[in-house]
Chain A
Amino acid sequence: NAGVTQTPKFQVLKTGQSMTLQCAQDMNHNSMYWYRQDPGMGLRLIYYSASEGTTDKGEVPNGYNVSRLNKREFSLRLESAAPSQTSVYFCASSGTTTYFSYEQYFGPGTRLTVT
């Protein structure tokens, strides 16, 4: 099992360019998430998908769009990148395992720089 995979690992964009961050999980999880991590700000939720076919805004959705392509894949798109979107982006997934465990599994992250 690869768990949660993200591509690319690193990306540099110029202001105004667009790009899509890809995420896939092989754990048959229902829910998937996109977070951004900035120094001193912790992990902030951008968008999430509770199940295939649904998406919802998180804390910081402006400037982003998402697509839940199927149960495995959840992509994050920046239509017109801005320097404020320079960050490390993490994808995560979760599914119902035991009653107690609501564990989210995180990918390795994408480090994005917008110049």
Chain B
Amino acid sequence: QQQVKQSPQSLIVQKGGISIINCAYENTAFDYFPWYQQFPGKGPALLIAIRPDVSEKKEGRFTISFNKSAKQFSLHIMDSQPGDSATYFCAASILRDTPLVFGKGTRLSVIA
């Protein structure tokens, strides 16, 4: 049973464009929704995260939009740059220090 569904699997965006990655979850008990960024040959690293009590969180060019009623959240990357080319994972968890459930990942390529 896949608890977090992520789409698309891959995404190609022109430099300066907006990258959008979507995730949907099933378990309404989830209370923490992070996005991780992974460069080739490296471990994932936390990019940005949101709690369900807010609908949007912005950090620089990265924004999480959260729709509690639809059980969906998305990552928007504004002014996408070639350096943003990486694999992005959404995730969710219920309690502090419990394992994250990850989506299957989106490989983003930003081309000049």
**The stretch of A12-20, A43-51, A62-70, A73-81 that contacts the partner chain:** A43-51
- Whether A103 pairs with B97 at a CB distance below 8 angstroms is no
- Whether A103 pairs with B49 at a CB distance below 8 angstroms is yes
- In the bound complex, residues from chain B placing their C-beta under 8 Å from that of A50 are 97-98
- In the bound complex, residues from chain A placing their C-beta under 8 Å from that of B105 are 40, 42-43
- In residues 29-49 of chain B, which contact A (Cβ within 8 Å)? 32, 34, 41-46, 49
Asked if A83 lies at the interface with its beta carbon under 8 angstroms from chain B, I say no
Q: Give the number of chain A interface residues (Cβ < 8 Å).
A: 28
Asked if B83 lies at the interface with its beta carbon under 8 angstroms from chain A, I say no
- Whether A106 pairs with B49 at a CB distance below 8 angstroms is no
Interchain Cβ contacts within 8 Å, total number: 59
Asked if A28 lies at the interface with its beta carbon under 8 angstroms from chain B, I say no
- Whether A33 pairs with B51 at a CB distance below 8 angstroms is no
Interchain CB contact (< 8 A) of B46 among A30, A41, A103, A107: A103
- In the bound complex, residues from chain B placing their C-beta under 8 Å from that of A43 are 44, 89, 102, 105
In the complex, 23 of the A-B residue pairs with CB atoms within 8 angstroms, ordered by the A residue number, are: A40-B9, A40-B104, A40-B105, A42-B6, A42-B105, A43-B89, A45-B99, A45-B101, A58-B99, A92-B43, A95-B97, A96-B97, A100-B49, A101-B49, A102-B49, A102-B93, A102-B96, A102-B100, A103-B46, A106-B45, A107-B43, A108-B41, A108-B43
Chain B interface (Cβ within 8 Å of chain A)?
6, 9, 32, 34, 41-46, 49, 51, 89, 93, 96-105
